[in-house]
Amino acid sequence: MLLDEGVHSRVVSHVCTVMRVAEAIAMRCGADLTLVRAGALLHDLGRGRTHGIGHGVVGAQRARELGLPEALVLIVQKHVGAGITPENAIELGLPPLDYMPSTMEERIVCHADNLVDDDRVITSQEAYLDFIGKGLEEQGGRMLEMHRTLSDACGVDIDELTPGIDLKGRGPCSKYL
């Protein structure tokens, strides 16, 4: 589906890595694994049309056009950064909505996306430093708070889950790589 929507193969590789990280977190946290997998696979649906901050909004619109379940649409819509407040959305030229992940599944996909740089898994500290390097201190702080929230819910620091993830067997993604 992503390739059909014009998403570059490099982004698909990123998506596949995000899916593996999200799966590991979801399994440990007892989240809806099917929803997390689908959300991780489709979170960058909008990248076929834009690589800007609005790709979450564009992807969510496309997901709705395709008739996908609203829970999945919201994962696509809310995965950008560490969430976007309505005030920040207005400043960024996005529709004035709350783009803050609120469900466990939304948080998992959002955070897994933050822990994957291209198709390389990074730590929360590395992700934080990436935010800081871009001048996004508020986003970096929110990402660390999301990391703590998920780590508490899972009973383990998320950074301890990621080294054991098998990135070679990318499940449903294998046919795209």
Asked whether residue 102 is assigned to any structural domain, the reply reads yes
pLDDT of residue 4: 79
pLDDT of residue 128: 97
pLDDT of residue 130: 95
Averages of pLDDT over runs of 10 residues in the chain (177 residues) are: 79 90 94 96 89 90 96 96 91 92 97 93 96 94 96 95 74 57
The count of structural domains within the chain is: 1
Asked whether residue 4 is assigned to any structural domain, the reply reads no
Its pTM stands at 0.92
Asked whether residue 79 is assigned to any structural domain, the reply reads yes
Taking each helix axis as running N to C, give the angle between helix 33-42 and helix 104-114, from 0 to 180 degrees, rounded to the nearest 10: 40
Asked whether residue 128 is assigned to any structural domain, the reply reads yes
User: Which residues are CB-contacts of 128 (< 8 A; sequence separation ≥ 6)?
Assistant: 140, 143, 144
From 105, 116, 100, 112, select the one nearest 158 (Cα to Cα). Answer: 112
Query: Token pair of 43, please?
Result: 């979170």
Asked whether residue 1 is assigned to any structural domain, the reply reads no
Asked whether residue 2 is assigned to any structural domain, the reply reads no
Q: In terms of residue numbers, what domain contains 85?
A: 9-176
**Which CATH number is 152's domain given?**
1.10.3210
**Helix or strand (DSSP H, E) at 43:** none
Asked whether residue 87 is assigned to any structural domain, the reply reads yes
Distance of CA 78 to the CA centre of its chain: 8
Asked whether residue 152 is assigned to any structural domain, the reply reads yes
